[in-house]
Amino acid sequence: MFHGFCFISLCSGHGSFSNDPKLNSVVGHLLHSSILVPYHGWRISHRTHHQNHGHVENDESWHPLSEKIYRSLDALTRTLRFILPFPMLAFPFYLWNRSPGKSGSHFDPSSDLFVPTERKDVITSTLSWTAMAAILVGLGFTMGPMQLLKLYGIPYWIFVMWLDGVTYLHHHGHEEKLPWYRGKEWSYLRGGLTTLDRDYGWINNIHHDIGTHVIHHLFPQIPHYHLVEAVSTSTYLFF
């Protein structure tokens, strides 16, 4: 249930929860804040990811590092970035400080992630996140830290690991590596087609069929309940 709840929140961030932007925003703030994610901050950076997937310098999600950036990393950062299980815990830290080689924070309205007109949105989301954090602190005093850890802390970190794992699986191959592009070699279509579909079996329903990731990247506003239909239709049209 926790995972399904979290993946519904991600739908609002894609604008696919509702055709009404205000409803998307309200639902997005309620659900994203509940899992300690700043709604607009993540929505905007994830939009950047969709618009630049497969571009070495401009992508936002599990993009490869250049040799120059890799060599500049200290031993601790290399360990946290590349040695399991640490990368599976990366999402909250990415929200605070992005990936190596990039600066800015999803909580900071002056970050280069955002344009000036998005400042109020980012502030709103940061305040919502702060309110949720305050609620958790209050619950910790009320029910005790161990009970809060059992009811929220452990499910939260399971969600973080699951999200990081699933995101990696959708954007990287295993035995066959996916291509990444620079400059004129990159295009939106080429980048979108270098994502991967994954079949999670009975977990597909919990993920709201996000395993259909290629069609999701090409048309991110398709509602999750039409993704399988869209894949079937596109397969029919092309083949």
Q: What is the pLDDT of residues 202-212, one digit of tens each?
A: 888 877 788 88
Higher local confidence (pLDDT), 16 or 227: 227
What pLDDT is recorded for position 35? 93
**Rounded to whole angstroms, how far apart are CA atoms 96 and 35?**
14
DSSP letter assigned to residue 150: I
pLDDT at 151: 93
More reliable by pLDDT, 174 or 161: 161
Please report the pLDDT score of residue 25 as a whole number. 83
* pLDDT score at 236: 42
Confidence tier at 237 by pLDDT (50, 70, 90): very low
pLDDT confidence bin for 137, thresholds 50/70/90: very high
Q: Residue 2: pLDDT above 90?
A: no
Q: Three-state DSSP class for 221?
A: coil
Mean pLDDT along residues 159-176: 83
Q: What pLDDT score does 171 carry?
A: 86
Task: Work out how many domains the chain is built from and give that number.
Answer: 1
For residue 181, the SS3 value is: strand
Average pLDDT over the chain reads 84
Asked which of 4-8, 97-101, 169-173 is least confident by mean pLDDT, the reply is: 4-8
Q: 202-217 as b/e, with b when 16 or more CB fall inside 10 Å?
A: eebebbbbbbbbbbbb
Q: 17 versus 122: which is more confidently predicted? A: 122
Enter the tokens of residue 38: 């700043």
Per-residue 3-state assignment (H helix, E strand, C coil) for 15-73 = CCCCCCHHHHHHHHHHHHHHCCCCHHHHHHHHHHHHHHCCECCCCCCCCCCCHHHHHHC
Question: What domain range is 61 assigned to?
Answer: 1-238
Instruction: Reply yes or no on whether the pLDDT at 6 is more than 60.
Output: no
In contact, 221 and 15? CB cutoff 8 Å: yes
Q: Is pLDDT of 70 > 70?
A: yes
